[in-house]
């Protein structure tokens, strides 16, 4: 589903300061990561894996698309935050399954690297928004190609090439820079802060999962 958040040019709510805007984005991101951490700590991955795969994936995509629909369409920060949580929870289930397959120290290392990379890409996104805007179409095309190739490899050839993980990392690095640059170009309202955080959350979680897989393979 296309993200309409970054196409907004007119404020539909009260304009807030840049500091409050960025603080809200950070707080919403931290909330999502906190929910994911609590899910990892308190939900046995065996319980998740016992769910029928068809039911799981239908529920996963239904929740994500519903959440994206809510924060795309709503101009109310409370409704947008609800939509955000409809994305955070299914992502948390995937994170739970993946994280429990790796040693805790490896997970911590992946979190640290993801944090540093995210910060660096946000800085670059602020400094060079025009550059990231130019590569947006290329990022989308590359991501679609990678998804198709990965699906074919896994379900038809039963293999997975490690280079794909590196390509995905580069793609989502680009997306973080792109989305952060766009987040600072839309009107600075509370609702836009929540919506932009939701987009960044999905970029960061995908980046984290790939970095974790790369580190796990190197071990």
The predicted-structure confidence for 170-190, as pLDDT tens digits, reads as follows 999 999 999 999 999 889 999
CA atoms within 13 A on the CB side of 156: 6
Rounded percentage of the chain residues whose pLDDT exceeds 90 = 82
The SS3 call for residue 12 is coil
Strand partners, 15: 189
| Six token digits for residue 137 | 């179409």
Q: What is the pLDDT of the chain when averaged over all its residues? A: 91
Reported confidence tier of residue 1, pLDDT bands at 50, 70, 90? very low
The closest of 102, 217, 125, 104 to 172, measured between CA atoms, is: 125
pTM assigned to the model: 0.91
Reported confidence tier of residue 151, pLDDT bands at 50, 70, 90? confident
Which pLDDT value is given to residue 13? 67
Cα(75)–Cα(68) distance, integer angstroms: 13
Residue 121 CB-density burial (10 A; 0-12 exposed, 13-18 middle, 19+ buried): buried
DSSP annotation of 188: -
Cβ neighbour number for residue 202 with a 10 Å cutoff: 21
Residue labelled with tokens 């290392």: 109
Residue 65 has pLDDT above 80, yes or no: yes
Q: Do the beta carbons of residue 122 and residue 180 sit within 8 Å?
A: yes
Rounded percentage of the chain residues whose pLDDT exceeds 70 = 94
Question: Where do the H-state alpha helices sit in the chain?
Answer: 18-42, 45-49, 53-73, 77-99, 104-127, 129-134, 136-152, 162-183, 190-218
| Six token digits for residue 202 | 């999905």
Reported confidence tier of residue 25, pLDDT bands at 50, 70, 90? very high
Which pLDDT value is given to residue 190? 94
Interval 146-172 mean pLDDT? 88
Reported confidence tier of residue 219, pLDDT bands at 50, 70, 90? low
């Amino acid at each position: 589903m296309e993200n309409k958040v970054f196409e907004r040019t007119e404020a539909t709510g009260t304009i807030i300061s840049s500091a409050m805007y960025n603080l809200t984005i950070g707080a919403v991101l931290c909330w999502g990561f906190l929910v994911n951490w609590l899910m990892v700590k308190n939900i046995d991955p065996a319980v998740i894996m016992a769910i029928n795969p068809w039911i799981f994936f239908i529920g996963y995509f239904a929740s994500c698309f519903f959440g994206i629909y809510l924060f795309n369409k709503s101009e109310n920060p409370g409704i947008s935050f609800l939509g955000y949580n409809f994305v955070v929870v299914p992502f948390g289930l995937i994170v739970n399954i993946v994280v429990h397959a790796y040693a805790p120290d490896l997970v911590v290392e992946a979190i640290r690297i993801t944090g540093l990379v995210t910060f660096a890409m946000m800085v670059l996104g602020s400094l060079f928004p025009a550059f990231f805007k130019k590569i947006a179409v290329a990022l989308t095309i590359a991501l679609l190609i990678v998804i198709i190739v990965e699906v074919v490899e896994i379900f038809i050839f039963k293999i997975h090439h490690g280079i794909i993980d590196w390509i995905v990392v580069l793609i989502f690095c680009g997306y973080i820079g792109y989305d952060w640059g766009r987040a600072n170009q839309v009107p600075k309202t509370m609702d836009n802060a929540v919506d932009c955080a939701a987009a960044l959350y999905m970029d960061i979680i995908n980046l984290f999962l790939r970095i974790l897989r790369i580190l796990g393979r190197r071990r």
